[in-house]
Structures are given as structure tokens and as C-alpha cells.
């Protein structure tokens, strides 16, 4: 989400953020009947029967644009189903003809850390008409995210200081400071969010979804999850296989690696991200006029750019500064757009070379980024089981940096940040993890589950989707031959296959491959081409806003 979309910033003092306010990030007139603080939200659950959690009662109210919003109280700790509760913010838009609808479609964004409420609001209009006509479209902010008691370990000033000091081309002495920063983040989580962090793992998120399914009157779950949302769907299917009607897992995770062998999960992500960056630089070299960066050797120019900006940061309009780390951070997320954004990346790199602050690559991470990054780290530290060996940690992190030289060193030795860079924090994480799910991931006896993998995905490597489709008892893989992250909304072929599966339960044939990626334009486009998101040009700065394409 861009800074502009969030409106005035709230106070982030340590005392004020111990139980963070349930935040409302929609237009000012939009309202949720939310509890004031997470401490208030963690009220006593009303009595259910047989020690089971009480199904939430949803009281819907209008929240503009045809959307309805409500709150759902679910157990904070499912080991104590009648104990304290946490309040989840939910949203839906009903199908226009209720007599003809097939049920409710759950939409789950990536992350962890993205708002499911915003995901539904931002993407509903771009969904294929068949989906909008066939389903009430539903989403929610998972526990610990956005309006559902957002977890905050580092406040904005602490995060700003850390990312400002980070380097795009860190030196050989960068490992130990990274480990110390990971330990500092862990301690901040204990100090500022310790009463919530044990309970934000995906095992409890799946239990929440099953209560929400019941609250909506659905016998089975119809679900689309992208990126981390695919892991949430995987865990749900594993826990409740008989309750699956249709699950789409787009940009899928290898769940066994993610939860139980996290070093084996991290390295392919380092390699996938650097591989995407390398292919972009190769294209740039072969298309110098369109790219505009590198003067014949984009790879060398990129290394020089990082070092030059580290040595002489560029002052930014808000009094901050941008350096080589800033460029790496922005590239990490925006290269997810695929080939269609390559000319824009080339022009942005050229501007950065000229120290032109209109380049989106010179915009440091913002408070909106930190809202995403805090739960991103915490959820994964709870979900993952990193070995406690300091020697293994050092060997893995330094090897990752070496094997992914373009973007890897900045991530490996930077402050606590995103996904594959969590080892220095999560390997030092202490405390119980009752909400973690560790398998099995077979979902034995489920209905067919559709897994989508993109061959050049820089964020969720294609081999993870292959692994998941094989691990599931009844999985079916659809391959999208393309650069970029996920497939639905970026490919007419994949979008049609997903729509037919969700609506009519038509499973694509084995071996189905889509190859209709939008190719790079001959110049930097001013608007997003059909079927793409082009987040930077549309939204100014991509602070991990999750937006689908607009294929109809």
C-alpha cells in the first residue's frame, strides 16, 4: 500500500504499540465496528458446547462501494477455545443474484503481512465476471495483520534507522552485525508483542478460516490463495481435507521445506530472485535502446551503481536518504511484475544512476512497508523450525550471499526484512509456538486441488509448486511459462483455467501449460497493459500492495 493510501500516520511509541490499535486503512468514511485495542479484542469467548470454539456471529454493515464489513471473534489460543479471543476484520461483496450464486469465494493475499480486506476491495472489480456472478467474494485480515491486531516489534523510527544504515554491497564484516540486529528484533518482539506472537502461526490461521467458513454457512471451502496465501490454503487442506470444495494455490510453497527445512526453502528463493534479475540484465544488454541502462554492460553498471550509492547516498524529499540497499529493496518486489515492467526498471535504474529522485528505486522503505514487514517476520519465525546452530546459520547465510551476488548480499546481511532473509532473526527466536503447523501436508481424501507455478517466478520458485503438487494426495499442477510472480490475472490461459475450476470444478488436464506472457513493450508504458498490474506506474511506490491483474 502506498503511503498516500494510508492517510495520517498513527503514533508508534513503544507503550502505545504493545497492543496495537486495530487499524482502518480504507477511505475515511469507511467504518468497521472493531475493538479499540488488541487487549480489548482478546476478550473472553462465550461458552460453546463440548469445549469447542464458538462459531463467530457476523453482523454486517455497509462499508462503501457495495462492500459489507464485520468483525469475527475467534480464540486467541485454540488450546483454550473458551478463553480469550482475538477480533478479525472481514469483508465481502455479494454476488448480484443471490439465487444463482454457488457459494462464497475466499480470497487470500500473499505475505505474510498483506491485508485480506484490502485485497478483496482492490481486486474485486478486476475479477472475471463469472467469478463475481457465481460467488460472494470474501476476505479478511489474518490474526496479527492490519486491522486484526497488527503485530509490531520494531517501530517506524527503529526500522528507518536500520534500513538507512544497510548497504546494497555490504563488506566482508557484515555478518555479525546482521546477527546482532536479528537478536535485537527478537527482543523487541518479546517486549512489544509478546502476548500475541505465539498465536499468529498458520495452524491457527487455518482454524480461523474453518470457523469463518461455518459463520458464512458454507459446507465446504472455495478458496484462491496467492503466494503465502497458497501456504495458508495448503495447511487448511491438510487439516480439513474433507471440507475442501475447490482450492487454488498460486505461486505455491514447498510446505515441508518451508515449515521443517527452512534453509532448504530459503536458498532456492535467493537463487530465483537473482536468476530473475540476471535475466533482466541480459535482456537489458540485448535491448539497450529500450532499456536505457548499462552502456553496453548492465551487469557491471548495476554493481557500480550499488557501490556508488552506498558511498554517496542520495538525499530524499522527506529528509531521508537512498543508497544501494534502497535500490535492491525496490527491485526485490518490483521484479515480480514480469517482463512487462522491464523497460520501466531499465529507465528507473538509469535515473538512479543520475541521482534523480523521481526514480522509484530511490524511494526508501516507508511506514507502510514496515506494517507489512513486521508480521512477515513474526509469522515466519513462528511457522518455521530453524536449527539453533550458530555455525550452521553462518554457513547458510554466507553461502546464500555468495551464490546470489546481484541481490543476495544486501538481503543476507541486511536488517530483519523479508522471506528468504529471515534466518538471522528466526534462528534465534525463542518461546513457544502452539500455532505452528508441521505436517503432514498430503490432504489425504480431499477434492482435487489446483496448484499454479510460474517458471521464472522470483519470489516462489517454480520447483516449489512442482513439489507441492506431488506432495498433495490429489494435487494438479498448471505451469505458466513466464517471468514474474504468480499466474492468475497475468495469463488469459491460467485465468480461464482457474475460473473454470472454481466455478464448475473442471480440473485442467495433467501437464497443462500456459505460455501467454505479455512481452516487454518497446518503450516504458504509461499505463498498465491488459492482464498486468505494473504496480509502480499505477500506484507510485509498491509497498507490497497485493494486486491481481485485470483479465476479464
137 SS3 class: strand
Cα–Cα distance, 97 to 278 (Å, whole number): 49
Give the separation between CA 298 and CA 376, rounded to whole angstroms: 32
- What is the predicted pLDDT for the residue at 525? 63
Q: Output the pLDDT for position 529.
A: 57
The number of beta carbons lying within 10 Å of the beta carbon of residue 47 is 8
Average pLDDT on 407-415 reads 97
Alpha helices in 358-477 (DSSP H): 367-383, 390-403, 408-412, 423-426, 462-471
Pairing of strands 314-315, 321-322: antiparallel
pLDDT one-digit tens code per residue, 46-94: 445 567 999 999 999 999 999 999 999 999 999 999 999 999 999 999 9
pLDDT of residue 26: 30
Look at phi and psi of residue 406 and say left if phi exceeds 0, alpha if psi is from -120 to 50, else beta.
alpha
pLDDT in tens, 437-493: 999 999 999 999 999 999 999 999 999 999 999 999 999 999 999 999 999 999 999
Residue 296: CB atoms within 10 A of its CB come to 8
Question: Where residue 177 falls among pLDDT bands split at 50, 70, 90?
Answer: very high
Please report the pLDDT score of residue 510 as a whole number.
96
Is the pLDDT at 425 greater than 80, yes or no? yes
Kindly write down the DSSP assignment for every residue of 42-83, as one continuous string.
S-BPPP-STTPPPPPPP--EE-STT-EEEEEEEESSTTSTTS
Exposure on the CB side of residue 290, measured as CA atoms within 13 A: 21
> Could you give the 3-state DSSP secondary structure of residue 285?
helix
Q: Return the closest-CA partner of residue 255 out of 226, 273, 272, 230.
A: 230
Average pLDDT, the chain: 88
Helices 228-239 and 202-215: crossing angle in degrees, nearest 10, is: 70
Q: Which is nearest to 86 in space by CA: 118, 49, 39, 48?
A: 39
| 21, pLDDT greater than 90 | no
Q: Is 214:53 a contact under the CB 8 Å cutoff?
A: no
pLDDT above 90 (res 416): yes
**DSSP conformation letters of 241-279:** GGGEEEEEEES---HHHHHH-HHHHHHHHHHHHHHHHHH
Cell of 48: 460453546
Q: How many CB atoms lie within 10 A of CB 101?
A: 15
How wide is the angle at C-alpha 540 spanned by C-alphas 301 and 2, nearest 5°? 120
Model pTM score: 0.89
- Output DSSP code: residue 414: S
Pairing of strands 103-108, 221-226: parallel
pLDDT attached to residue 43: 38
Residue 3 has pLDDT above 70, yes or no: no
Give the model's pLDDT for residue 148: 97
Spatial distance between the Cα atoms of 510 and 367, rounded to a whole number of angstroms: 44
453: phi then psi, degrees, rounded to nearest 5: -130, 140
Q: How many degrees, rounded to 5, is the angle at CA 429 between CA 428 and CA 435?
A: 150
Integer CA distances (angstroms), 106 to 90, 103, 209, 250, 340, in order: 11, 10, 9, 14, 29
Q: CA torsion 419→424→426→431, rounded to 10°?
A: -160
The one-character DSSP state at 406 is T
Q: Is the pLDDT of residue 548 over 70?
A: no
Q: Find out whether 534 and 525 touch, Cβ atoms under 8 Å.
A: yes
Q: Is the pLDDT of residue 536 over 90?
A: no
At 22 the pLDDT is: 27
**9, pLDDT greater than 70:** no
pLDDT exceeds cutoff 90 at 166: yes
The structural domains of the chain, ordered by start, are: 61-152+196-255+437-515 (3.40.50.1820), 156-194+258-427 (no CATH)
Amino acid at each position: 500500500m502506498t503511503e498516500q493510501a494510508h492517510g495520517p500516520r498513527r503514533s508508534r511509541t513503544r507503550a502505545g504499540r504493545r497492543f496495537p490499535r486495530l487499524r482502518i486503512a480504507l477511505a475515511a468514511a469507511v467504518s468497521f465496528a472493531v475493538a479499540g485495542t488488541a487487549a480489548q479484542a482478546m476478550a473472553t469467548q462465550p461458552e460453546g458446547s463440548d469445549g469447542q470454539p464458538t462459531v463467530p456471529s457476523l453482523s454486517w454493515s455497509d462499508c462503501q462501494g457495495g462492500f459489507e464489513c464485520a468483525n469475527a471473534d475467534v480464540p486467541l489460543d485454540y488450546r483454550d477455545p473458551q478463553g480469550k479471543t482475538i477480533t478479525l476484520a472481514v469483508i465481502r461483496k455479494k454476488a448480484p443474484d443471490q439465487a444463482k450464486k454457488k457459494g462464497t469465494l475466499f480470497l487470500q493475499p500473499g505475505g505474510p503481512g498483506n491485508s485480506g480486506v484490502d485485497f478483496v476491495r482492490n481486486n474485486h472489480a478486476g475479477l472475471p465476471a463469472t467469478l463475481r456472478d457465481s460467488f460472494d467474494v470474501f476476505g479478511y485480515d489474518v490474526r496479527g495483520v492490519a486491522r486484526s491486531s497488527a503485530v509490531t516489534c520494531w517501530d517506524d523510527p527503529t526500522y528507518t534507522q536500520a534500513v538507512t544504515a544497510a548497504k546494497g554491497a555490504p563488506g566482508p564484516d557484515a555478518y555479525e552485525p546482521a546477527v546482532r540486529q536479528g537478536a535485537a528484533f527478537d527482543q523487541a518482539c518479546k517486549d512489544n508483542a509478546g502476548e500475541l506472537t505465539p498465536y499468529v502461526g498458520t495452524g491457527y490461521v487455518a482454524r480461523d478460516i474453518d470457523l469463518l467458513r461455518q459463520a458464512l454457512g458454507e459446507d465446504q471451502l472455495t478458496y484462491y490463495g496467492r503466494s503465502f496465501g497458497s501456504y495458508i490454503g495448503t495447511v487448511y487442506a491438510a487439516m480439513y481435507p474433507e471440507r475442501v470444495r475447490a482450492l487454488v494455490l498460486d505461486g505455491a510453497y514447498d510446505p515441508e521445506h518451508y515449515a521443517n527445512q527452512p534453509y532448504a526453502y530459503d536458498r532456492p528463493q535467493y537463487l530465483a530472485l537473482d536468476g530473475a534479475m540476471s535475466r533482466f540484465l541480459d535482456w537489458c544488454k540485448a535491448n539497450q535502446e529500450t532499456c536505457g541502462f548499462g552502456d553496453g554492460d548492465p551487469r557491471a553498471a548495476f554493481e557500480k551503481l550499488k557501490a556508488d550509492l552506498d558511498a554517496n547516498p542520495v538525499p530524499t524529499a522527506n529528509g531521508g536518504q537512498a543508497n544501494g540497499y534502497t535500490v535492491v529493496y525496490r527491485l526485490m518486489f518490483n521484479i515480480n511484475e514480469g517482463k512487462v515492467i522491464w523497460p520501466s526498471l531499465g529507465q528507473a535504474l538509469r535515473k538512479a544512476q543520475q541521482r534523480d529522485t523521481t526514480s522509484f528505486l530511490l524511494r526508501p522503505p516507508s511506514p507502510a512497508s514496515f506494517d507489512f514487514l513486521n508480521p512477515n517476520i513474526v509469522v515466519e519465525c513462528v511457522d518455521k523450525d530453524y536449527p539453533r546452530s550458530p555455525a550452521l546459520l553462518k554457513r547458510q547465510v554466507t553461502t546464500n550471499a555468495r551464490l546470489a551476488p546481484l541481490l543476495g548480499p544486501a538481503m543476507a546481511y541486511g536488517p530483519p526484512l523479508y522471506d528468504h532473509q529471515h534466518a538471522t532473526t528466526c534462528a534465534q527466536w525463542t518461546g513457544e509456538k502452539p500455532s505452528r503447523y508441521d505436517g503432514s501436508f498430503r490432504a489425504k481424501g480431499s477434492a482435487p486441488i489446483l496448484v499454479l507455478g510460474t517458471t521464472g517466478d522470483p519470489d516462489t520458485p517454480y520447483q516449489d509448486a512442482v513439489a507441492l503438487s506431488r506432495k498433495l494426495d490429489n494435487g494438479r499442477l498448471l505451469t505458466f511459462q513466464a517471468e514474474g510472480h504468480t499466474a492468475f490475472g497475468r495469463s488469459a490461459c491460467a485465468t480461464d483455467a482457474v475460473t473454470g475450476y472454481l466455478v464448475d470444478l473442471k480440473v485442467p488436464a495433467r501437464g497443462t501449460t500456459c505460455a501467454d506472457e505479455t512481452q516487454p513493450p518497446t518503450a516504458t508504458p504509461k499505463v498498465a497493459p491488459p492482464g498486468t498490474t505494473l504496480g509502480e506506474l499505477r500506484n507510485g511506490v509498491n509497498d507490497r500492495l497485493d494486486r491481481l491483474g485485470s483479465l476479464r
